[in-house]
């Protein structure tokens, strides 16, 4: 199938590589054209504009930074919706508020095209291996069209309801993960004076009823950072996590809810960003909080 992808950051690039690996023909577009070069060398066609990308593709996937980026890429003069897209399918994978997806779907449907919101859980490694968890929002007909493609990216794919439902569930599943980075830092603060080796400490945390599943994979990296080492390649950076938490808070406010744990967690991530850690992986957060607490 001819698939176009708009937004080839770390996740977008991994998704392109995965889709080419399973036999699809890919076209790509990115605001910063230099990010498309490795994909072009791997066999993807590079579109000059989003409009050109949509014209060349049967299915168009977008994975963009935020609502403003979505608006620019879809609705600009040379945007994805600027030409004839009747009969095409749009799969919007960005982590945004449900209302953003709903408003966009109305414009896409008005052009005679299909639409699902399908944000995913997971980072670059699972994306490259086709082991993400996907959350679809859309009509039964549009979801059925999107499913064969998304199942090649996801080890589990859930159709959560109408358009916007995928975004709602994605924000929900991200929330406890964000909080755990903070909780891990607080936990370390209570026992770092004992002098337990960080590798051993993370192994203990992972083996308790309070240890989340991801700690089994990321615990060694957290231990390395606690010992003064480097987290290595960034899978999901602190600034992106800050964006997601601000999105959660905005959605909660819209629904008359409060998220006090996310507010506190965001404060720590904001402090880490101010300290220059914004582009670095969020596995730095427990050490940042524990060391900051020790100095205060």
Provide the pLDDT for residue 211: 86
Which pLDDT belongs to residue 205?
Answer: 94
pLDDT tens, residue by residue, 241-289 = 999 999 999 999 999 999 999 999 999 999 999 999 999 999 999 999 9
Q: Is 170 a catalytic residue?
A: yes
Architecture of domain 2-162 in this structure: 3-Layer(aba) Sandwich (3.40)
Q: What percent of the chain has pLDDT over 90?
A: 93
Which residue in 45, 55, 111, 170 is the catalytic one?
170
- Assign residue 23 a region (left: φ > 0; alpha: ψ between -120 and 50; beta: otherwise): left
Q: pTM value? A: 0.93
**Across residues 59-81, what is the average pLDDT?**
97
Q: Is 87 left (phi over 0), alpha (psi -120 to 50) or beta?
A: left
Domain boundaries, the chain: 2-162, 169-295
91 contact partners, CB below 8 Å, separation of at least 6? 59, 60, 61, 62, 115, 116, 118, 146, 149, 150
Q: 92-145, pLDDT tens digit by residue?
A: 999 999 999 999 999 999 999 999 999 999 999 999 999 999 999 999 999 999
- CA–CA distance from 204 to each of 76, 193, 211, 224, 225 (Å)? 52, 16, 9, 15, 17
CATH architecture under which domain 169-295 falls: Orthogonal Bundle (1.10)
């Amino acid at each position: 199938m001819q698939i176009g992808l708009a937004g080839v950051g770390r996740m977008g690039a991994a998704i392109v590589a995965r889709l080419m690996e399973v036999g699809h023909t890919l076209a790509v577009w990115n605001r910063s054209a230099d990010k498309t070069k490795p994909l072009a060398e791997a066999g993807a066609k590079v579109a000059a504009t989003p409009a050109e990308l949509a014209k060349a593709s049967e299915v168009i996937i977008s994975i963009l930074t935020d609502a403003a980026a979505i608006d620019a890429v879809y609705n600009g003069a040379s945007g994805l919706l600027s030409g004839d897209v009747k009969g095409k399918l749009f799969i919007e994978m960005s982590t945004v508020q449900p209302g953003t997806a709903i408003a966009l779907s109305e414009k896409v449907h008005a052009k005679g095209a299909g639409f699902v919101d399908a944000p995913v859980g997971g980072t670059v490694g699972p994306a490259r291996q086709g082991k993400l968890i996907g959350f679809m929002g859309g009509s039964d007909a549009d979801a059925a069209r999107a499913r064969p493609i998304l199942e090649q990216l996801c080890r589990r794919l859930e159709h959560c309801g109408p358009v916007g439902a995928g975004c709602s569930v994605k924000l929900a599943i991200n929330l406890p993960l964000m909080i755990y980075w903070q909780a891990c830092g607080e936990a370390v603060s209570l026992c770092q004076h004992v002098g337990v080796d960080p590798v051993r400490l993370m192994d203990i945390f992972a083996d308790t009823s309070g240890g989340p599943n991801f700690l089994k994979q990321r615990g060694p990296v957290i231990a390395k950072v606690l010992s003064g080492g480097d987290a290595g390649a960034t899978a999901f950076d602190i600034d992106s996590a800050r964006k997601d938490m601000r999105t959660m808070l905005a959605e909660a406010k819209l629904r008359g809810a409060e998220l006090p744990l996310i507010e506190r967690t965001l404060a720590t991530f904001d402090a880490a960003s101010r300290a220059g850690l914004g582009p670095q992986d969020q596995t730095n957060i427990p050490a940042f909080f524990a060391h900051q607490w020790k100095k205060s």
